[in-house]
Amino acid sequence: MLEIITLPVLTDNYIYLVHDPVSHETAVIDPALAQPVLDTLEEKGWQLAYLFNTHHHSDHVGGNIQIKQQTGCKIIAAQADWDRIPGIDQGVNEGDVVSLGSHKANIIATPGHTRAHIVYHFAEDNLLFCGDTLFVMGCGRLFEGTAEQLWHSLQKLKALPKETLVYCTHEYTQTNGRFALTVEPDNQRLQQRMIKVNRLRSNNQPTVPTSIAEELATNPFFREDSVELQKTIAMTDSKLMEVFAEVRRLKDGFS
């Protein structure tokens, strides 16, 4: 079993440390900052073997250089992001596999938030580290890609096993959930989930990880085929991709 530590940093970022107790290898994913990672490694007595990035934004790579200098870890990120990932050692593409001990993660390309965004899927462990592609009840904003690209990317994640645990990089859950209720006010799973989420947040607890099953039931960006959602936004006769694009557009104007 992999051990996962969630570090809340900055306003709403999460950094994840993943440790394999058999090989004693550890990886960090999207370190916005170095110090909290270095402190945790020291506390746990872990040595860092790898640093995985999902995309080049500063709140995901901010700790790269300092962490690499202090630990000698190997930095892995998208080949297409070679020029904008600080300290990159190995570029990967969709279909590549990276290892942590005997645990393997498949690289899935998920363009949309950025043009080279990738996610790390540990298929046998049922874990997904998805950066800013999928959030709890939400998805990433379109900075470099089109709605169509992000929709295709999310279709790949939607097709993963339902029990997959999903570790995203931001705590945007309450705002996402409030938005979700505007497009699916009668979704009971969503209503119930918001009660749980609000309780967690009022105790300052993370709402991650989520699961593919929970997202299928409550995430409007996984629910473009919902009749209620389509009726609410008056798009019952549109293509699913267009419904998705409209939900993404509505969310951009929501706060």
Would you say 9 or 165 has its CB closer to Fe ion?
Answer: 9
What residues contact 224, with CB distance under 8 A and at least 6 apart? 151, 230, 240, 241, 243, 244, 247
Write down the number of H helices and E strands in the chain. Answer: 9, 14
Report d(CA 206, CA 241) in Å as an integer. Answer: 31
User: Is residue 171 within the footprint of Zn ion (CB under 5 A)?
Assistant: no
Q: What's the half-sphere exposure (Cβ side, CA atoms, 13 Å) at 51? A: 32
Selected catalytic residue, list 60, 103, 117, 121: 60
* 89 part of the active site: no
Q: Of 61, 53, 74, which Cα lies nearest the Cα of 131?
A: 53
Q: Of 88, 118, 89, 86, which Cα lies nearest the Cα of 105?
A: 118
Interface residue with Fe ion among 20, 132, 171, 214 (CB under 5 A) is: 132
Selected catalytic residue, list 19, 20, 30, 59: 59
* 121 part of the active site: no
Q: How far is the CB of 131 from Zn ion (least distance, A)?
A: 7
Q: Of 94, 98, 138, which Cα lies nearest the Cα of 116?
A: 94
Token digits of residue 156? 């790949």
Piece of the chain touching Fe ion by CB under 5 A; list 132-140, 213-221, 225-233, 239-247: 132-140
Say if CB 111 and CB 104 are below 8 A apart: no
Selected catalytic residue, list 56, 57, 117, 121: 57
* 170 part of the active site: yes
Q: How far is the CB of 14 from Zn ion (least distance, A)?
A: 13
- Identify residues 39-68 at the interface with Zn ion (CB under 5 A): 57
Would you say 62 or 177 has its CB closer to Zn ion?
Answer: 62
Say if CB 41 and CB 17 are below 8 A apart: yes
Piece of the chain touching Zn ion by CB under 5 A; list 17-25, 128-136, 170-178, 188-196: 128-136
Selected catalytic residue, list 103, 113, 117, 121: 113
* 132 part of the active site: yes
* 56 part of the active site: no
Q: Of 3, 24, 15, 4, which Cα lies nearest the Cα of 102?
A: 24
Interface residue with Fe ion among 59, 125, 184, 246 (CB under 5 A) is: 59
* 57 part of the active site: yes
Selected catalytic residue, list 55, 56, 117, 121: 55
Q: Which residue is nearest to Zn ion (CB)?
A: 57
Report d(CA 54, CA 212) in Å as an integer. Answer: 19
Under the rule (CB under 5 A), what is the footprint of Fe ion?
59, 132
Under the rule (CB under 5 A), what is the footprint of Zn ion?
57, 132
